[in-house]
Amino acid sequence: MGQVKLMKGNEAFAEAVIRAGCDAYFGYPITPQSEVLEYLAAQEPHKRTGMVLLQAESEVAAINMVYGAAGTGKRALTSSSSPGISLKQEGISYMVGAELPCLILNVMRGGPGLGTIGPSQADYFQATKGGGHGDYKVIVLAPSSVQEMADFAGLGFELAFKYRNPVLILSDGAIGQMMEKVELSEQQPRTTSFDQSWVTTGKSPDRERNIITSLNLDPSKMELHNRKLQAKFAGMQENEVRYERIDCDDAEYLIVAYGSCARICQKTVKLARQKGIKVGLLRPITLFPYPTKIIQEMTGKIKGILTVELSAGQMVEDVRLAADGKVKVAFYGRMGGTTPAPNEVLGVLEQQFLNS
Amino acid sequence: MENQSVSTDEIVREENLVYKKTSLMTSKALSYCPGCGHGVVHRIIAEVIDEMGIQADTIGVAPVGCSVLAYEFLDIDMQQAAHGRAPAVATGIKRCWPDKFVFTYQGDGDLAAIGTAETIHACNRGENITIIFINNGIYGMTGGQMAPTTLPGMRSSTTPYGRDIALMGNPLKITEVVATLPGTYFVARHSVHTPLNARKTKKAMRMAFENQKLKKGLSFIEIVSNCNSGWKMTPTQANKWMEDNMFPYYPMGDIKVNGEMVKKKEEPKA
Ligand SMILES: Cc1ncc(C[n+]2csc(CCOP(=O)(O)OP(=O)(O)O)c2C)c(N)n1
Ligand code: SF4
Ligand SMILES: [Mg+2]
């Protein structure tokens, strides 16, 4: 068993990043994720593992520093919150285009605009449908506990290098700020075992020069490159779907929720079962690739689905696509940094499915 | 097919050559307009890397601009960067590989408009890299729009009646700005339109890369260059216009050497 500590989500993530053997972090402060940079600064990771840490002049600069480091084969990451993640979108699009691996953490806050510093899940569309320009996807991991904030650091890098594609951890202000018990893994070495044949570290006589670029002015070649990327995204959909099912075996009604919202709804399930209502919870862990198949499988066995989000209704579109009209999909959301109470969700569920 | 004809190899004999392709330039034909300064600067970079024997330790970063395809012409590892972000990309590389040689190759729109923040902050942090800044007073790649460096009254496709400084502000002398920052160690302005000027540029380029070796901080070389296509001139006219109009505004010579500001600037050579 690894070391057990009581930590904030943001701090657990930062500690896990060092332990995962990450090579470089570049970031810019924004609430509610500044603890990542602050924790790393206090830890002096250059002394612990030789990891590079730099506070950039902006989120735009930070993601481009990540691009440069990733282009040399290093395990680089950045973290931010919603407005800052918006600024990184061009860089993320470039990284997908140039097939560069990296890890990005978004501790979501309420928008639009400067919005609020309270927790939100309103960046779901941005995270899962591309976000920046061009046809692309990134793997999106949605932690719902401090433990997962830590665990997804290592997993995120593993997936990023497996596919040579950015991986986004889509967290929120509640998960980032709350304190929980977390079991930390052992320190991993900063050595790399993956294929290094593409990295730009200087052209040695024994190989052709390497180029990191997303540019191809020949449309037919660019289409081929797009096809290659699409095949990669299809591979992610085939192999990387992750989800958790809670009390689903005998469920008549299903709640679909992720992140902090799933934690709230877990309580709703308990309250419902105390009242004799058979409710289960499906918690998507990957938001791209989305657990479409399991929802399709479950639609035959249940009477209704309630999707709960800290947004005006974004993930619910993917749930409806999966359910394909075969079962009623209701939605309940809170916005602007507010969160629903478990019994509030239960009230909605009863009203939508039982009182009619 | 015709056995009697003389082959190119026979004509171009080693002993007849006074000038040959630099070994670190690829065989790809340059995509630049005839007379453009970009190609000469590429050659200078290639020669310096070759002469220092640092190909295996050099990574170049070229952002968007006419020179975005620099990686097709320079036989070294390169990263293409988003518009304006090369100094950030170079920072990411250099921080992870402090013993490697890292340079950026940026246009004036790239370095002094969209990428001003990245430029200033990389210089201010004293990143141990080389910034090569091609100032042609215009956005060449996108068809000759106004750049931050476009001269007062100068025509471009977005200032068809000449740059009105009351409306658009004055040309930005960013090289003088970065020279004031403690992080820059060597700042100079040159041109490549004559062999003499090209030689001076090469000397400065060599110094910039040597500074990296010694981990002295950031070296910044501006090259005032022509854009005959964007300026709508023949190459000869463009060079003359550059001497008459650009050089008085952007004077040649060292601005900061060994971390110290140079008091008297070298006068432009007419
Ligand atoms: C974000 C973004 N905005 C605009 C462009 C379009 N663009 C490409 S190059 C360029 C200007 C290039 O001018 P400069 O940096 O002076 O280089 P030059 O071509 O003159 O050498 C612009 C505006 C872009 N590629 N990306
Ligand atoms: S457009 Fe201007 S800068 Fe670009 S290649 Fe032509 S002359 Fe050179
Ligand atoms: Mg230009």
What CATH number is associated with residue A274? 3.40.50.920
Residue B253 forms part of a structural domain:
yes
User: Is B167 inside any structural domain?
Assistant: yes
| Mean pLDDT value of segment A71-75 | 97
* Residue A31: pLDDT band with limits 50, 70, 90: very high
Q: B187 lies in a domain?
A: yes
| Amino acid type, B64 | V
- Is A216 among the domain residues? no
Tokens of B18: 């006074």
Cβ-nearest to A209 among B68, B77, B101: B77
Specify the residue for token string 């250059």.
A46
H-helix or E-strand containing B166?
helix B165-168
Whole-number Å distance between alpha carbons of A137 and A288: 8
In a domain, A143, yes or no: yes
Does any CB of chain B come closer than 8 Å to the CB of residue A196?
Answer: no
Work out whether the CA dihedral B37, A209, A25, B97 comes out positive or negative. negative
The answer to whether B119 faces chain A, any CB pair under 8 Å, is: no
Per-residue pLDDT of A131-171, as tens digits, reads: 999 999 999 999 999 999 999 999 999 999 999 999 999 99
Q: Does B52 touch chain A (CB under 8 A)?
A: no
- Position A64 scores a pLDDT of 98
Q: Is B147 in the pocket of ligand 1 (CB under 6 A)?
A: yes
Distance from CA of A51 to the nearest CA of B (A): 8
pLDDT at B2: 47
Residue B213 lies in domain = 30-260
Domain CATH code at residue B46: 3.40.50.970
* Tokens read off for B160: 């068809």
Nearest by CB to A201, from B59, B75, B92: name it.
B59
> Is the pLDDT assigned to residue B79 strictly greater than 80?
yes
What pLDDT, on a 0 to 100 scale, did the predictor assign at position A1?
67
For residue A269, give both structure tokens: 């399930």
Overall average pLDDT of the A280-303 stretch: 97
Contacts of A334 (CB under 8 A, 6+ apart): A310, A340
A222 domain-assigned: no
**Helix extents (H) in A74-145:** 82-97, 124-128
What rounded mean pLDDT belongs to chain A?
97
Ligand 2 pocket, residue B139 CB under 6 Å: no
> Is residue A157, in this structure, part of any structural domain at all?
yes
pLDDT of residue B17: 80
| Residue A136 lies inside a defined structural domain of this protein | yes
Domain shared by A297 and A160, yes or no = no
Report the candidate in B237, B245, B65, B239 with the shortest Cα–Cα distance to residue B150.
B245
Residues shown for chain A: 356
- Cα A47 to Cα A23, A40, A51, B77: the distances in Å are 12, 11, 8, 30
The pair of three-digit structure tokens given for residue B201, joined into one six-digit string: 């540029």
Where does the pLDDT of residue A60 fall: very low under 50, low under 70, confident under 90, or very high at 90 and above? very high
Beta-carbon contacts of A206 under 8 Å, excluding residues fewer than 6 positions away, are none
Q: Is pLDDT above 70 for A356?
A: no
Domain count, chain B: 1
Q: Are residues A181 and A70 in the same domain?
A: yes
Mean predicted confidence (pLDDT) in A191-220? 93
How many domains is chain A partitioned into structurally?
A: 2
3-state secondary structure of A276: coil
Supply the pTM of this predicted model.
Answer: 0.96
Chain centre to alpha carbon of residue B182:
22
Q: What backbone torsions phi and psi does residue B66 show, to the nearest 5 degrees?
A: -55, -30
DSSP of B47-68: HHHHHHT-GGGEEEEE-SSGGG
What single-letter amino acid sits at B264?
A: K
The token pair at A268 is: 């709703």
Q: In Å, how far is A60's CA from the nearest CA of chain B?
A: 8
Same domain (yes/no): A168, A287: no
Judgement on whether residues A139 and A189 belong to the same structural domain of the protein: yes
The values of phi and psi at residue A60, to 5°, are -65, -50
The 10 Å Cβ neighbour count of residue A201 is 20
- Is B100 in Cβ contact with A68 (below 8 Å)? no
| N-terminal to C-terminal alpha carbon distance within chain A | 50
Give whole-number Cα distances, A267 to A42, A118, A261, in Å. 36, 21, 10
**What SS3 state is found at A246?**
strand
Partners of residue A183 on adjacent β-strands: A4
Q: What percent of chain A has pLDDT over 90?
A: 97
Residues A181 and A329 occupy one common structural domain: no
A87 and A27 in one domain? Answer: yes
Q: What single string gives the DSSP state of each residue in A78-98?
A: EEE-HHHHHHHHHHHHHHHHT
3-state secondary structure of A184: strand
For residue A37, the domain's CATH number is 3.40.50.970
Question: What pLDDT is stored for residue B266 in this prediction?
Answer: 55
Q: Which residues in chain B are contacts of A45 at CB distance < 8 A?
A: none
Among A229-238, A345-354, B12-21, the least confident range: B12-21
> Residue B68 CA: which ligand is closest?
1
CA B112 from chain centre, in angstroms, equals 13
Q: What is the pLDDT of residue A342?
A: 98
Chain A nearest C-alpha distance from B97 (Å) = 8
Helical packing angle, B116-125 and B86-96, nearest 10°: 30
| Residue B2 is assigned to a structural domain of this protein | no
Query: For residue A48, what are the domain limits?
Result: 4-202+227-239
pLDDT for position B16: 77
Residue A213 in any domain: the answer is no
One domain for residues A294 and A316: yes
A191 and A249 together in one domain: no
The pLDDT assigned to B268 comes to: 60
pLDDT band at B267 (very low <50, low <70, confident <90, very high): low
Structural domain contains residue B96: yes
**Residue A46, token pair as written in the block:** 């250059």
The answer on A298 and A158 residing in a single domain is no
Positive/negative CA dihedral, B173, B174, B180, B184: negative
Cα B135 to averaged position of ligand 2 atoms, centre (Å):
11
Out of A68, A74, A90, the one facing B91 most closely (by C-beta) is: A68
How many angstroms separate the CA atoms of B262 and A72, rounded? 37
> What pLDDT, in 10s, does the model give residues A80-119?
999 999 999 999 999 999 999 999 999 999 999 999 999 9
Percent share of chain B, pLDDT over 70? 96
Task: Kindly state whether residues A184 and A332 are assigned to the same domain.
Answer: no
> Could you tell me if A22 and A148 lie in one domain?
yes
Question: What is the residue with the minimal CA distance to atom 2 of ligand 2?
Answer: B227
pLDDT band, residue B1 (cuts 50/70/90): very low
* CA B58 and chain centroid, separation: 17
C-beta of B36 in contact with ligand 1 (< 6 A)? no
Model ipTM over 0.95: yes
Q: What percent of chain A shows pLDDT beyond 70? A: 99
Q: A209 lies in a domain?
A: no
Rounded to 10 deg, the angle between the A34-43 and A9-19 helix axes is 50
Final residue of a structural domain among A239, A267, A300: A239
Residue A130 forms part of a structural domain: yes
Query: By three-state DSSP, how is residue A179 classified?
Result: strand
**Residues in contact with B211: Cβ distance below 8 Å, sequence separation at least 6, in sequence order:** B130, B185, B186, B217, B219
**pLDDT category of residue B21 using cuts at 50, 70 and 90:** confident
CA distances from B35 to A17, A268, B237, B239, B248 (A): 51, 73, 11, 9, 21
Give the per-residue pLDDT at A18: 98
Do residue A95 and residue A35 come from a single domain? yes
pLDDT for residue A172: 97
Q: Which of A190, A218, A239 is the last residue of a domain?
A: A239
